[in-house]
């Protein structure tokens, strides 16, 4: 070790190797502290339950902490995330008030055995937290205002699909039957123009003005778009009730998987919700509700208001 001292600064150097925390560790600290202050960690411990045999001394929050950190880290794989976090596993788990760091194999067994009930409980908890705390003190939600001064709230339900490539596996009498880990989350289905052998679908629900993420649903192969759409509509209904906004002034925009499906049952399901809605295919927007057509044809210039923005953005809507 060498040192240099003057009247104001003391510098010491050493050849010993000292590990530095990951660059994303500070973000994990902020996330854990915020969840604790808002009472979300306590709510997870009380409301999200999952019981199985040989669960050991771990709770659901132990695995959620790892998944939170993995999402923040941006690491490409869980293996890389574990290698980077391993020297700091104890302080990382202490952020979430836990003292045990599950191994990768333990996390894999937990995810493989996870059922739909705790996932739905966690999704409901996050939605309750979103609706309980407003974005701004004056409860601004944003909106689309036409020339007549009518405010419309726009929601997006976007169904997308992702294809995964699979290599050919050798099959001989000397080898055991082939097994793919993606079989639990992907299956053969319609791929469109995407390259791959198996498909997984995902449906997201968001508020178009504030970019609030209201829900996400995923399934194997072509998915269950009717069930996912029903859940998305129920989520939007809760949002409208929480903000006391009229359903008659709500626009629902469907694109991706839902928008390209000419299904009479799908349209009937939307009509039962009494929401004006649009299906978007490419650059063409078709508004189904007659009242919506007349309003937007007469008032073909709309003003989009977003919470926290001073400068308005103008959108010219051209309907033929």
Alpha-carbon span 112 to 106, nearest angstrom: 10
User: Residue 30: its pLDDT value, please?
Assistant: 92
Bridge partners, 278 (sequence order):
253, 287
Region 15-35: mean pLDDT is 87
CA distances from 290 to 109, 223, 228, 271, 295 (A): 52, 31, 26, 12, 9
Alpha-carbon span 183 to 225, nearest angstrom: 20
> Of all residues in the chain, what percent carry a pLDDT higher than 70?
75
- CB atoms closer than 10 angstroms to residue 262: 8
Q: Are 166 and 180 in contact (CB under 8 A)?
A: yes
Q: Confidence band (pLDDT; 50, 70, 90) for 314?
A: very low
The token pair that represents 284 in the structure block: 């063409």
**Domain definitions of the chain by residue range:** 20-130, 135-164+183-316
Bridge partners, 285 (sequence order):
280
Residue 152, SS3? strand
More confident residue, 153 or 276: 153
- Beta-strand ranges (E) seen in 165-281 are 198-207, 213-220, 250-256, 277-281
User: Residue 295: its pLDDT value, please?
Assistant: 42
Alpha-carbon span 10 to 8, nearest angstrom: 7
User: Residue 215: its pLDDT value, please?
Assistant: 86
- What DSSP element (H or E) covers 243? helix 225-243
Q: Confidence band (pLDDT; 50, 70, 90) for 293?
A: very low
Residue 47, SS3? helix
| Tokens 């919700």 -> residue | 273
Region 216-227: mean pLDDT is 79
CA distances from 279 to 46, 72, 210, 241 (A): 40, 34, 21, 24
Tell whether the model's pLDDT for residue 70 goes beyond 80.
yes
More confident residue, 315 or 205: 205
User: Residue 172: its pLDDT value, please?
Assistant: 83
């Amino acid at each position: 070790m060498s040192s240099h001292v003057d009247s104001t600064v003391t510098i010491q150097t050493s050849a010993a190797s000292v590990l530095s925390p990951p660059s994303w560790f500070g973000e994990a600290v902020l996330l854990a502290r915020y969840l604790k202050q808002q009472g979300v960690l306590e709510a997870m411990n009380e409301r999200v339950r999952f019981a199985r045999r040989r669960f050991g001394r771990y709770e659901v929050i132990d695995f959620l902490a790892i998944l939170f950190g993995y999402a923040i880290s941006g690491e490409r794989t869980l293996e890389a995330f574990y290698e980077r976090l391993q020297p700091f596993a104890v302080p990382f788990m202490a952020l979430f008030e836990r003292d045990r760091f599950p191994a990768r194999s333990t996390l894999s067994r937990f995810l493989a055995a996870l059922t739909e009930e705790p996932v739905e409980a966690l999704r409901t908890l996050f939605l309750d937290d979103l609706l309980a705390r407003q974005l701004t003190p004056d409860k601004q939600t944003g909106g689309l205002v036409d020339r007549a001064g009518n405010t419309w709230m726009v929601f997006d339900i976007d169904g997308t699909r992702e294809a995964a490539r699979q290599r050919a596996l050798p099959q001989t009498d000397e080898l055991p039957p082939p097994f793919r880990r993606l079989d639990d989350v992907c299956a053969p289905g319609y791929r469109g123009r995407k390259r791959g052998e198996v498909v997984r679908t995902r449906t997201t629900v968001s508020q178009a003005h504030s970019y609030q993420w209201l829900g996400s649903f995923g399934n194997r192969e072509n998915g269950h778009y009717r069930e996912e759409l029903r859940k998305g509509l129920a989520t939007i209904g809760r949002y409208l009730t929480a903000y006391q906004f009229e359903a008659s002034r709500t626009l629902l925009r469907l694109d991706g998987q839902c928008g390209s499906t000419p299904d009479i049952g799908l349209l009937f399901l939307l009509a039962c919700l009494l929401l004006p809605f649009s299906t978007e295919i490419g650059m063409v927007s078709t508004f189904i509700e007659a009242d919506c057509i007349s309003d937007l044809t007469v008032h073909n210039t709309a003003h989009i208001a977003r919470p926290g923005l001073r400068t308005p953005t103008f959108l010219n809507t051209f309907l033929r």
